[in-house]
Structures are given as structure tokens and as C-alpha cells.
Structure 1
Amino acid sequence: MRKIGTVIAGLAAMVGSAISAPASAQIFFFPPEHEGQPVTGAEPGLFTPALVGGQPADIRANLIWNLRSSLNVAALNCQFWPSIMSVDNYNAILTHHADELNAAYEGLKTYFRRTAGRRWQSAMDEYTTSMYQSYIRVGSQRSFCTAAAETARDALARPKGQLHLTAQTRMRQMRNSLVSYADATMPYHQAVPLPPMLWLDSRCWRNSNYNRRRC
């Protein structure tokens, strides 16, 4: 009996130490893989809305600004997961890559001035609003935040002037992450098996015992 008590005490100590340890901040047991091939920004279906008739400089500016937009959405919508530091990383990217981001914004202004004439400002506002909205998906919030965290860390690791490399290598991943996923332990849209309900009719019971032959 004393031996059993010693074992129980040992298990209790192990459980206590596990509870006192810092909890893991993982959202997924098995994070889905969203990686894809590098992009130029001109691939059909990559961005919504598409930049119609863009020249190489326009396409590059749009690619960088889409990266910024996606990380801005992550900063707003991923705060339920504090450990990925979505707000802090986004603000750090704005500072670290300020010159390249400003050049991308000016590049988009040049495109809309050329293609929309006098209404370029309203056309650009409509375009960028739709751009932001394209990164909001309720059913894929966790997977999107996972991809955004990886992308933000990649961007901060780049020297100034190389944000476009993060955009080229990560935007396919950001777009793929907008597909709805669930944890691999409970595949998306898979029905959860439930046991059949028992009949509650009085003929099914004999005192407190359930009579399966009758029901």
C-alpha cells in the first residue's frame, strides 16, 4: 500500500510540474501546408481585384502593396493569438521597409493616374478597399494567421530594400492560406459520429433498467 502511495505521489508531482510549465501557444496540432511557388505578381487569380494592363513596375508595386495589405489585415484580425505578435511585427515592417513601401504606394498612384485619368483617386481607393477585403475569410482565420506570422518574420529578416523578395516568395502562401481548414485531427466538414439516442418511452424501461429487446 505504501508503494502505491509513493507512485501516486510521484505522478501528482509530475502533473503539477506540467501544469506550472508555460503553455504552448500553438493553434494547430498539425498546421496545414500553404507553401507555393514564387510569384511575379502577374499570375491570374493571385490577387483580387486584378491589376488590368499593368506594366512591370506597376505589377511589382501591386505585389508589395498586397503583401502590406495582407499583413495589415493580420494585425487587425490575429490579435486573439498574442504570441505571433501580429501588431508589433506589422509596425516593425512599416518602419524597417518604409522606403520600399512608399515607393510601392507611389507606383500604384502612377498606375491609376495613367489608367483612370481624373478619377484616379476614387479608382485607387475602390481598388485598395477590395484588396483589403480579399484577405478577410472567417473560415480560414487560423490558417491565415499562421501564414501571416511566418511571412512577417521573413519580412523582418530581410535587409532594407528587399521586401519585394518576401512578397515574391510568400504571397502564394498567403493566398493559399485563405482556403478554409480545420485541424488534421478533425478534418474540415467531416461529420462528428454520435451514438444513437435511446428511446425514452416507458415501455423501454423496467424500473431503472433499460430493456433493449423492447426498444
Structure 2
Amino acid sequence: MKRPADSRTSLAWQIQSLLLAYPDERFPEHLTLARRVADTQPGPVGDPLLRFAERAGRTPLPELAADYVATFDHRKRCCLYLTYYAHGDTRKRGMALLRLKQTYAEAGRRLSDDELPDHLAVVLEFAATEPAPGARLLTEHRAGLELLRLALNDDDSPWAPVLDSVSATLPRLAGGDREAVMRLAAQGPPGEQVGLDPYASPVFLPDPVVGGLR
């Protein structure tokens, strides 16, 4: 029996969340789960999960973990903390983080001390259990998501297909990817000003926080 579309999307967000966390000793189990979930998804969502699982499955775990740190903890264009793309390390980012925490609290979700609310894995995990507000958060941060997706694809990163899969769960962007990203970046989230150039010198992002979901 096929799952309803909204149920399939929630399942996709859950596995995407696991795949974007630090690859620890449980990561091989997550790859196995990703293959199973991929079979329940439409092609644009499931096929990238299979591509990631195949490539990551051929990579020794220590090598994959080192690549994760090099990609997400030390490369500003590949930051997993979504509010950086709109606000950098400013007071506005603090307010954006507070709004995220309030959204989670309203749904009964309490973050642990080592979780930041704008980490993409955290947002996806929330969306998996609270699809309506979760989809809204992902859409509000769509510009950052697309900047991250493009950067990972430009670098031929192993994680690029995961972001392709995330993007495929969201409404289609009008026009070419890069033009749409720049338009969304110029508009920004409601009530905020953005304005960024993802392929100029990445001074709009601070040094990323080492850690996240581990």
C-alpha cells in the first residue's frame, strides 16, 4: 500500500535529518534505512538518497567523518546553520534563533543543550514530526538551503544529493536555480533584510560552529 504524499514527505525529512548529522558509528544503519526510505519516495526525492547511500557506503567511515568536518564545519559556503545565510553572526540572527525555539516550544519540542535550532538536521527532524510548521520553516529558509545545495553540487560533495532530495520535497522554484536563489535572498524572510552574494568572498558568514548533532 502506498503511503500518502504527506506521510512520505515526513519520512523523507526524517532520513535526511539523520544523513546530515555527523557520521558516527550508527551511520551505516542510517544508510540502510535511507535505501529503504528511498523506495517509498517519488524519484526526485528517492533517487538522490540512493546516490548518497551508494557513494557514502563505499567510503570508510573515518574518511567520511573527516570530509563532513572539512565540508560543514570549516567551509562557510557549506554551513548547515540556516540563519547564517540571512543574518551572519549578528543580533538579528539571535532573534531568528529565538523565533525558531519558540516555534519548537509551541509544538512541545525542547532542544538539548548541544542542539542549535537552525541546524538543518534539527529543522528537518522537527518537520518530520510537525509537517505544517516544519514546511513553513524550510520554506522561510529556502534561499539558504538552495545556496547550500548549489555549493555542495559545485564541489561534488558526497552530501550534495541529500540537499537535492531536501529541495525536491519543497515547492519548485521559478526560473533558473541561481536566479531564483538571488531573488529569494534579496527578499529574505518576512520582516528581515538579506542581500548576499553566495559566490563572492564569503564574508557574510562567520566561522562556523564546530559541533552540531553528534
TM-score range, shorter chain: under 0.3
Larger Rg: 1
What TM-score do you get using the length of structure 2 for normalisation? 0.26
